[in-house]
């Protein structure tokens, strides 16, 4: 059960009494150059409204280390005020009875009218807001070094066959075709983009949302692992353990031609002063579809007017027009708020917004499993463990498919 009365009381208090100095200790994993620049926007706005922000960044792309740190804090009875949380993790913490309720802030801010229904639903626990959305990230992007591709006479690939042909040509020229970081979540990010591209939305939904055994053990899934095996042949030998933003840097400096990664990668290109369309290119991964995740702040039940005032202020600012625009300009994602104009955003962002609307219309707008939007932790972990074991071995695709179905069964 979420703590409600405290919130309503604090909301009233916030309006009348100046004694509650808003305080927030914020746990997140936005530590790369572009991400740090983006979260600074919220820190400045919070301070501008008299808030005191205690930053708790936990390095490690994808957030696994941050989630480990969070669990330790909650178990020790000292939860942070606010936490970057994604997808069903929010509801999983709610079921443990440790989340605060921000529904009053959401009603005052008219969030239901400002958010796509799918995004609003991800932010609710038992029908009431328990998290504030920050953005919409598209996961299935491919990024390219414009000069390297121009010199090689290569267009951004629209099919996996085109990608493989381009990659072989680049390899022949001594250029690493695919910059990749050998971490399980990065392997999973590439895997789900391949699955969406080869199998399509219905296949993706059946396999990674409904965990349908027929889809999981299908010839389509074998074809997905076959393509992942092919991609394994296009990365450099030093990929194991590499952080995602260092792989992005390989594309920036021309060491590699492509990277498959969510649009937080664009935040890195932009933070380095590079121009989309000129220095680097963006395109949906071959086969298309739109896989998304939504970063959000969830608020843990804490005591003290100052902390509750901090949560109210943070929730309000997170859904504020200025933050939604400036944060996302830096972060590489697009605003969650529907009424933020994209005039100041680049063509990749406008493409993301356009594709999201098209995908929403034709049923191919789907939550990322690799980034914790589609499944609960145990099932998502079972898939990712199988995928990374496959990527880092010479396991045949048929064995991977069998292992995948078994791992999911065992995770139930
Ligand atoms: C995702 C998160 C993004 C970005 C990425 C890389 O899970 O939603 O905001 O931080 O990890 O760390």
Distance from the alpha carbon of residue 321 to the mean position of ligand 1, in angstroms: 22
- What is the value of pTM for the model shown? 0.94
Is pLDDT at 5 greater than 70 in this prediction? no
In angstroms, the CA 366 to CA 92 distance is 20
State the pLDDT at residue 20: 78
pLDDT (mean) for 383-402: 98
How many angstroms is it from 135 CA to the middle of ligand 1?
11
30 within ligand 1 shell (Cβ under 6 A): yes
For residue 209, the model assigns a pLDDT of 97
pLDDT digits (tens, 9 = 90+) for 218-241: 999 999 999 999 999 999 999 999
State if residue 14 touches ligand 1 by the CB under 6 angstroms criterion. Answer: no
Model confidence pLDDT, tens digit, residues 122-175: 999 999 999 999 999 999 999 999 999 999 999 999 999 999 999 999 999 999
Q: Phi and psi dihedrals of 330, rounded to 5?
A: -85, -35
User: Can you tell me the mean pLDDT for 252-263?
Assistant: 98
Could you tell me if the CB of 295 is within 6 A of ligand 1? yes
pLDDT for residue 11 is more than 80: no
Q: What is the arithmetic mean of pLDDT over 28-42?
A: 95
Pairwise CA distance, residues 396 & 263, whole Å: 31
How many Å lie between the centroid of ligand 1 and the Cα of residue 35? Answer: 9
**Residue nearest ligand 1's atom 8 by CA:** 295
Going from the C-alpha of 130 to that of each of 42, 94, 264, 351, 402, the distances in angstroms are 19, 8, 24, 30, 38
Higher pLDDT among residues 303 and 285, named by residue: 285
pLDDT for the residue 39: 96
The mean-pLDDT minimum among 4-8, 199-203, 228-232 falls in 4-8
Cα of 294 from ligand 1 centre, angstroms: 9
Question: Rounded CA gap, 208 and 387, in Å?
Answer: 13
pLDDT tens string 71-95: 999 999 999 999 999 999 999 999 9
pLDDT of residue 300 exceeding 90, the answer is: yes
What residue ranges in 60-154 does DSSP mark as E strands? 82-86, 124-125, 128-129, 131-133, 137-138, 141-145
The pLDDT of residue 1 is: 43
């Amino acid at each position: 059960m979420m703590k409600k009365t405290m919130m309503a009381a604090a909301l009233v208090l916030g309006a009348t009494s100046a004694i509650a100095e808003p305080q927030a200790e914020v746990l997140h994993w936005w530590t790369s150059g572009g991400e740090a620049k983006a979260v600074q926007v919220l820190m400045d706005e919070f301070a501008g409204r008299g808030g005191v922000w205690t930053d708790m960044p936990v390095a490690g792309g994808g957030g696994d280390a941050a989630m480990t740190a969070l669990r330790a804090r909650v178990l020790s009875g000292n939860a942070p005020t606010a936490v970057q949380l994604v997808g069903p993790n929010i509801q999983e913490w709610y079921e443990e009875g440790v989340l605060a309720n921000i529904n009053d802030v959401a009603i005052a801010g008219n969030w239901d009218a400002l958010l796509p229904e799918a995004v609003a639903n991800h932010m609710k626990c038992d029908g009431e807001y328990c998290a504030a959305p920050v953005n919409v990230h598209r996961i299935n992007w491919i990024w390219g070094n414009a000069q390297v591709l121009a010199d090689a006479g290569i267009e951004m690939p629209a099919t996996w066959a085109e990608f493989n042909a381009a990659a072989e040509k680049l390899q022949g020229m001594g250029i690493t075709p695919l910059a990749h970081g050998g971490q399980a979540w990065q392997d999973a990010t590439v895997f789900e983009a391949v699955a969406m591209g080869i199998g399509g939305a219905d296949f993706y939904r059946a396999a990674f949302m409904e965990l349908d055994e027929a889809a999981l053990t299908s010839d389509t899934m074998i074809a997905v692992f076959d393509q992942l095996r092919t991609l394994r042949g296009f990365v450099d030998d030093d990929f194991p353990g590499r952080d995602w933003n260092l792989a992005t840097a390989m594309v920036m400096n021309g060491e590699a031609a492509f990277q498959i990664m969510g649009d937080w990668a664009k935040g890195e290109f932009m933070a380095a002063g590079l121009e989309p369309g000129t220095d680097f290119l963006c395109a949906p991964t071959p086969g298309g579809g739109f896989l998304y995740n939504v970063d959000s702040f969830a608020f843990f039940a804490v005591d003290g007017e100052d902390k509750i005032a901090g949560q109210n202020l943070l929730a309000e600012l997170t859904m504020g027009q200025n933050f939604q625009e400036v944060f996302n300009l830096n972060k590489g994602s697009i605003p969650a708020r529907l009424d933020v104009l994209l005039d100041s955003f680049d063509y990749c962002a406008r493409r993301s917004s356009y594709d999201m609307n098209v995908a929403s219309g034709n049923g191919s707008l789907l939550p990322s499993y690799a980034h914790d939007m589609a499944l609960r932790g145990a099932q998502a972990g079972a898939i990712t463990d199988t995928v990374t074991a496959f990527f880092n071995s010479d396991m045949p695709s048929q064995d991977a498919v069998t292992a995948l179905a078994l791992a999911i069964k065992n995770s139930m």
